[in-house]
Amino acid sequence: MSALFRAGGGISQIPLGLIVLGWGSTAWGLQAAEISFEKEVRPILKAHCTHCHGEEDKPEGGVDLRLRRFMDAPLESGGTLLVPGHGDRSELVQIIRRGEMPKKGKKMSDAELAVLEQWIAQGARTSRPEPQHLPPGAVISEEDRAYWAFQPVHRPAVPIGEQPMGHTPVDAFVGQRLQAAGLDFAPEADRTALIRRVTLDLTGLLPTPREVEEFVNDPAVGAYERLVDRLLASKAYGERWSRHWLDVVGYADSNGYAEADSVRPQAWRYRDYVIRAFNDDKPWNEFIQEQLAGDELAGVTHATTQEAVLDPQRRDDLTATAFLRMAPDGTGDTVDDPKLARNQVVAEQIKVATSSLLGLTVACAQCHDHRYDPITQADYYRLRAIFDPAYHWEAWRTPAQRLYSLYTAEERSKAAAIEERAKAIEADARAMGKKFLDEIFEVEVLKLPEADREPYRLARATVDKSRTPEQKALIKKYPSALALYSLNLYDQKKQNVVDAKMAEATQLRATKPAEGFLMALTEVKGQVPVSKLFNRGDHDQPKQVVQPGELGILSEIPGAIFQPVVLASGSSGRRLAYAKWLTSGQHPLVARVLVNRFWLNHMGRGIVNTPGDFGRQGELPTHPELLDWLADEFVQSGWKLKHLQRLILLSRTYRQSTVHLASLKQDPENRLYGRFKLQRMDAETLRDSVLAVTGALVQDSYGPPSDIGRDPAGRVVAGVDKGTIVTFKVESGGKADFRRSIYLQVRRTRPVTVLETFDAPVMVPNCEMRSQTTVAPQSLLLMNDTFVLENSRRLADRLAAEVPGDAAGQVQRAWHLLYGEAAPDAAVAEALAYLKEQTQALTQYHHDIQHAKDAPKPNPPQEALASLCQVLLSSNRFLYIE
């Protein structure tokens, strides 16, 4: 058994058969494995019991289950909680069996209860002497500290076998595990499959037929290496790989939380920052520091941010802090409980930050000590205290109050001058309107009895709130003579003149320089709130004061006790100190969590296949030594992602075929990586690749997102939303509708239909790992959705234009565009038969129905070709990477 399992401990790390039967049960004639309180029993009690019985100031019923020795205390009921050697006489077992405990949370499973009973039957022993006293609260045990994820990263030696195992050190680690299991690598994928795989992986787009042909026929040494380098250097690389990080941070162009789901019109600047960071291969220690504390790096607080945004480097630093503004935030909308909404923003953002960088479910400790991991409620609020000065929920700033103008001094001056002229024009228009109304009044007042004319003039000249009862009665008596408000009721032509004058002001304002804004997180100088632990997570029940700090389980690691220093700018320095600790290379989690995500996104399965949970409820690493080697290599190489990616992409592990019968039979989940995992295109890759092969894809980069709207069928599509509260309507947005999916607006309450159907996540608040489903709505969309139908026609038009009058040639061209290879003769023959049959059927169909006079002239052969294109686009051969 590996050191990983020996150090880990806990119920989630022990095979079920070993839990229940031990290495040998009576069926094997062997003794059951020794069960200890610390390794096997305590995690079960922590998960189900100690929240009420031990971690509160006053344990319920006087029962404290944190230590074995506490269980000898007599019960208030007079019973015996624990009788070593006799589970049937131990009240602890019986109340669980009766279902009386636990009263809250998940019930104890049969397997867990079996462990508890076996431990009692073996004498309820501990592995070492226990302390005589414990303060209230959670206990961090030696087993907790020994858990693999909390151990420092140590670079293991690369395994050396009798024969070189592969192309990079990655293969030595993977090959060692394969050999131990009696397996070997699958054969290398052929070049056609390999270029399709790596191009989709790195760019999210299919390779062109010319690129495939050049690579397949390149006889020179290093052809694959040059391919990888070209793809890593492409603009499309950042547009593809930024999507992975944007998932984790919960990127959205709307605020969520409230029903309004108001738009975040400036969020796209953070998206562009991330794309550029990937393309520039920005070191990840800088990338993380900028996102956590870019304002402190820029040396600004809220009051001084405006002067910093015009400096490109400082603007980048500030843009990066939108990482801490990505959580749902309805505080700028109407909410039922503003205080709750504010604290929910902070809670959700901490969840995003910790799951993305620490790979721990820290958020579970907001209301009580974590049930499974050694994370206390005090830990949670110490971590929150790091961010409190920036959020300061009692002196809250709404999303609109966290925007900073990008106007230069010249632009601001020009805009002010234009505004002054526009206001003067509006004043002239209002004066013109008043003059017209006065002229009309003088005509209308003469229609009144002579005795009422002067009193009426005086009443009209008096503001409404100052009018006497007599004046009000007079106006009520002759309302048509007022001529004070609505010029259009008396003379529409004069109203048109006034409106035209007002329009001059509107047109003039349109000449102002466009004012952009930056969405950022900053602190207010001098505002450092006192952070407190909230009883049961309730902000209305503050308890003891807490200081900013790291999780207690990590407190003994060198560097973990960081000391924030107030910066010259007046910012607290807390986030910058924390960011530097996280990126020091000494933190046991950050590098491991990051490289595990990189591996997952390349290989389709993580070394830890719960990338957001490295705790006891998560999966154990299948290759712990490889994970640590990659983590150390990442740090030692300057936190450069592209270097790490080359190691993975050039490895024999990555270049394997998806077909390997021995691996499939012995390791169906591919935990040992004895073959490359067969994967379907994800949502964005599918949409972008469809647009690319039809020739419709617009590769304009960066800038505000393309609009989306709901069409009359209820689908959310690219286009300008012209709907109302009761109707759905979308108009074309021109070429913006055909940009890459990374540039489509992301609305939390309105996901784009074609993307959502193929598992694009909805950010609530973020996505730790995408699911990949195979469900009926996907097939229905491929058969009926206008996106598929329209692009099938576009592809047919492209084929007809590129290979005119040659049906067989068109089929071959389609195969090269979609699949990257020549169509087999049998497939061509089948496609031609399909085209013939469909053409005949469509010809008959058009003959039998009455078309509208203005309808386009039917073209059955082209319609048949579009139908074939839809079949090809819907095929597994297209949808799956290989």
Q: pLDDT (tens digit, 9 = 90+) per residue, 359-374? A: 999 999 999 889 889 9
**What six digits make up the tokens of 538?**
């309730």
Q: Which amino acid is at 651?
A: S
pLDDT at position 273 is 98
Q: 3-7, 82-86, 443-447, 653-657: which has the highest mean pLDDT?
A: 653-657
3-state secondary structure of 730: strand
Give the integer Cα–Cα distance in Å for 30 and 22: 9
Average pLDDT over residues 194-208: 98
pLDDT at position 587 is 96
Give the integer Cα–Cα distance in Å for 405 and 426: 26
Q: Which position has the higher pLDDT, 68 or 674?
A: 674
pLDDT at position 58 is 74
- Percent over 70 (pLDDT), the chain: 95
Domain definitions of the chain by residue range: 3-144, 147-184+589-680, 191-230, 248-406+520-588, 409-514, 683-757, 786-879
Beta-carbon contacts of 600 under 8 Å, excluding residues fewer than 6 positions away, are: 606, 607, 609, 611, 769
Beta-carbon contacts of 565 under 8 Å, excluding residues fewer than 6 positions away, are: 573, 577
Task: State CA 722 to chain mean position distance.
Answer: 28
Beta-carbon contacts of 26 under 8 Å, excluding residues fewer than 6 positions away, are: none
Backbone angles phi, psi at 691, to 5 degrees: -65, -35
Give the integer Cα–Cα distance in Å for 576 and 580: 6
Beta-carbon contacts of 660 under 8 Å, excluding residues fewer than 6 positions away, are: 186, 187, 674, 675
DSSP 414-455: HHHHHHHHHHHHHHHHHHHHHHHHHHHHHHHHTTS-HHHHHH
pLDDT at position 162 is 46
- Percent over 90 (pLDDT), the chain: 75
Tens of pLDDT, residue by residue over 650-669, are 999 999 999 999 999 999 99
- Which of 84, 3, 98, 104 lies closest to 41, judged by CA? 84
**What six digits make up the tokens of 87?**
């589970």
pLDDT for 347 beyond 50: yes
Give the integer Cα–Cα distance in Å for 123 and 740: 65
pLDDT at position 73 is 74
Average pLDDT over residues 580-587: 96
- Which of 624, 590, 591, 585 lies closest to 607, judged by CA? 624
Beta-carbon contacts of 849 under 8 Å, excluding residues fewer than 6 positions away, are: none
H-helix or E-strand spanning residue 320? helix 312-320
Give the integer Cα–Cα distance in Å for 659 and 670: 12
Count of positions (residues) in the chain: 882
**What six digits make up the tokens of 35?**
């069960």
Average pLDDT over residues 200-211: 98
- Binning the chain into helix, strand and coil, the percentages to the nearest 5 are 55, 5, 45
pLDDT for 86 beyond 90: no
At residue 412's C-alpha, the angle toward residues 411 and 414, to 5°, is 65
pLDDT for 22 beyond 50: no
Radius of gyration, CA atoms only, the chain: 34
Cis peptide before 102 (omega within 30 of 0): yes
Give the integer Cα–Cα distance in Å for 552 and 39: 20
Average pLDDT over residues 724-745: 95
Give the integer Cα–Cα distance in Å for 468 and 401: 44
Q: Which amino acid is at 829?
A: A
Beta-carbon contacts of 345 under 8 Å, excluding residues fewer than 6 positions away, are: 257, 327, 328, 329, 331, 391
pLDDT at position 865 is 97
Region of 804 please: left (phi>0), alpha (psi -120 to 50) or beta. Answer: beta
pLDDT for 161 beyond 70: no
Tens of pLDDT, residue by residue over 459-492, are 999 998 999 999 999 989 998 888 888 888 889 9
Which residues, in sequence order, are bridge partners of residue 348? none
3-state secondary structure of 716: strand
DSSP 242-307: HHHHHHHHT--SB--SSTT--B-TTTHHHHHHHHHHHHTT--HHHHHHHHHHHHHHHT--GGGHHH
pLDDT at position 74 is 75
Q: Which amino acid is at 395?
A: A
Tens of pLDDT, residue by residue over 808-867, are 999 999 999 999 999 999 999 999 999 999 999 999 988 888 888 778 889 999 999 999
pLDDT for 4 beyond 70: no
Tens of pLDDT, residue by residue over 668-686, are 999 999 999 999 999 999 9
pLDDT for 23 beyond 60: no
pLDDT at position 381 is 97
Residue 269's Cβ-side half-sphere holds a number of Cα atoms within 13 Å equal to 24
pLDDT at position 25 is 33
DSSP 84-98: TT-GGG-HHHHHHHT
pLDDT for 5 beyond 80: no
pLDDT for 51 beyond 90: no
Confidence of residue 61 (pLDDT cuts 50, 70, 90): low
Give the integer Cα–Cα distance in Å for 421 and 146: 72
Confidence of residue 9 (pLDDT cuts 50, 70, 90): very low
Q: In this structure, are residues 708 and 752 in contact, taking their beta carbons and an 8 Å threshold?
A: yes
- 20-29, 203-212, 593-602: least confident range: 20-29
pLDDT at position 24 is 32
pLDDT at position 561 is 84
Average model confidence (pLDDT) for the chain? 90
pLDDT at position 7 is 36
Average pLDDT over residues 138-159: 90
Beta-carbon contacts of 681 under 8 Å, excluding residues fewer than 6 positions away, are: 200, 689, 758, 879, 880, 881
Tens of pLDDT, residue by residue over 502-519, are 999 999 999 999 999 999
Q: How far is CA 808 from CA 282, 687, 823, 873, in A?
A: 48, 27, 10, 18
- Which of 511, 625, 475, 841 lies closest to 172, judged by CA? 625
The pTM of this model reads: 0.88
pLDDT at position 26 is 33
3-state secondary structure of 615: coil
Tens of pLDDT, residue by residue over 403-419, are 999 999 999 999 999 99
Tens of pLDDT, residue by residue over 271-312, are 999 999 999 999 999 999 999 999 999 999 999 998 899 899
395-412 residues labelled b (16+ CB within 10 A) or e (exposed) = ebbebeebbbebbeeebe
pLDDT for 787 beyond 70: yes
Backbone angles phi, psi at 240, to 5 degrees: -80, -55
Confidence of residue 644 (pLDDT cuts 50, 70, 90): very high
**What six digits make up the tokens of 582?**
């996280």
**What six digits make up the tokens of 317?**
């630093």
Confidence of residue 6 (pLDDT cuts 50, 70, 90): very low
Give the integer Cα–Cα distance in Å for 434 and 748: 48
> Could you count the other beta carbons within 10 Å of the beta carbon of residue 424?
12
Confidence of residue 135 (pLDDT cuts 50, 70, 90): confident
pLDDT at position 665 is 95
Give the integer Cα–Cα distance in Å for 687 and 239: 14
Q: How far is CA 82 from CA 8, 11, 47, 100, 675, in A?
A: 27, 21, 19, 16, 51
Backbone angles phi, psi at 750, to 5 degrees: -145, 65
Q: In this structure, are residues 389 and 631 in contact, taking their beta carbons and an 8 Å threshold?
A: no
